[in-house]
């Protein structure tokens, strides 16, 4: 399962990219708004931090068809290869997804709340569909189940499209999707750090080092005399 950072905080992206097995970064207009900076500068900086080989997802903001296509071209010109344009999974978005596919521009049908909405984005030609797990759960529905249903539909229909599950509140939601074989998830920096963060882990690692130090007087194999 590929793991993306759903964040535009440059320091967090730099840290996670250095230490964690990260496949790229996803953004949306709300995430970019939190930076209070020119989004073009933020996006170029993210590209510079993650390198050309990782993938960046950037959303077209315009609400109309022509505007979506123009936004997609601008995003691709700005960020180069390994860029995916997020397009809201609404009727005008389905039209834009289909047109961009003809141009060879990969898209992600985003803002997905129902399985059949995901089906439409995939059928239109999206390379990814992004269901919003926790937002669905906040509405009183089973977000995990919606993602499973979309995965089942993609498999059954044979679309060349992957799930990019988004909007998580905790590790358990991500774990359930990993166990189901979902291809991609995107999580905030804090959720990712939470995968391997608790007092028991820190305590175990500290104990190993202090036991070794009690035996040898040093804290690494290479410091042995
Ligand atoms: O891009 C979609 C995703 O980032 C939404 O996450 O946490 O705002 O529900 P959230």
DSSP string, the chain: -EEEEE---HHHHHHHHHHS---EEE--HHHHHTTTS-HHHHHHHHHHHH-SSSEEEEE---SSHHHHHHHHHHHHHHH-SSEEEEEESSHHHHHHHHHHHHHT--EEEEEE-SHHHHHHHHHHT-SEEEEBHHHHHHTTS-HHHHHHHHHHHHHHHT-S-EEEEB--SSHHHHHHHHHHT-SEEEE-HHHHHHTT--HHHHHHHHHHHHHHHHHHSSSSGGG--
Q: Which of the residues 34, 86, 95, 123 is marked catalytic?
A: 86
CA of 91 to the centre of ligand 1 (A): 21
Q: What is the pLDDT of residues 94-129, one digit of tens each?
A: 999 999 999 999 999 999 999 999 999 999 999 999
81 an active-site residue?
no
Q: What is the pLDDT of residues 33-71, one digit of tens each?
A: 999 999 999 999 999 999 999 999 999 999 999 999 999
pLDDT of residue 207: 97
pLDDT of residue 196: 94
Q: Who's near 5: CB < 8 A, 6+ residues apart? A: 12, 13, 16, 17, 22, 24, 25, 26, 186, 187, 188, 189, 192
pLDDT of residue 211: 97
Give ligand 1 pocket residues (Cβ under 6 A).
6, 28, 132, 134-135, 166-167
CA of 3 to the centre of ligand 1 (A): 15
Q: Who's near 193: CB < 8 A, 6+ residues apart? A: 16
pLDDT band at 164 (very low <50, low <70, confident <90, very high): very high
* Nearest residue by C-alpha to atom 3 in ligand 1: 167
Task: Please give the model's pTM, rounded to 2 decimal places.
Answer: 0.95
């Amino acid at each position: 399962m590929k793991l993306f950072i759903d964040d535009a905080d440059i320091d967090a992206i730099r840290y996670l990219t250095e230490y964690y097995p990260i496949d790229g970064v996803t953004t949306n207009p709300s995430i970019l708004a939190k930076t209070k900076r020119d989004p073009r500068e933020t996006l170029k900086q993210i590209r510079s931090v993650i390198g050309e080989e990782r993938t960046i997802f950037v959303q077209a903001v315009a609400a109309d068809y022509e505007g979506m296509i123009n936004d997609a071209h601008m995003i691709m010109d700005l960020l180069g290869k390994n860029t995916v344009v997020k397009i809201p999974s609404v009727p005008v978005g389905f039209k834009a997804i289909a047109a961009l596919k003809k141009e060879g521009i990969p898209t992600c049908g985003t803002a997905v709340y129902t399985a059949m909405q995901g089906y439409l984005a995939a059928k239109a030609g999206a390379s990814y569909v992004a269901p919003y797990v926790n937002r669905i759960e906040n509405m009183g529905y089973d977000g995990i189940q919606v993602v499973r249903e979309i995965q089942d539909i993609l498999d059954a229909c044979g679309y060349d499209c992957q799930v990019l599950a988004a909007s998580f509140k905790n590790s358990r939601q991500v774990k359930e999707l990993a166990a189901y074989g979902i291809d991609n998830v995107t999580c905030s920096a804090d959720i990712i750090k939470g995968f391997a963060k608790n007092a028991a882990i820190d305590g175990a690692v500290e104990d190993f080092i202090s036991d070794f130090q009690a035996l040898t007087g040093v804290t690494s194999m290479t410091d042995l005399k």
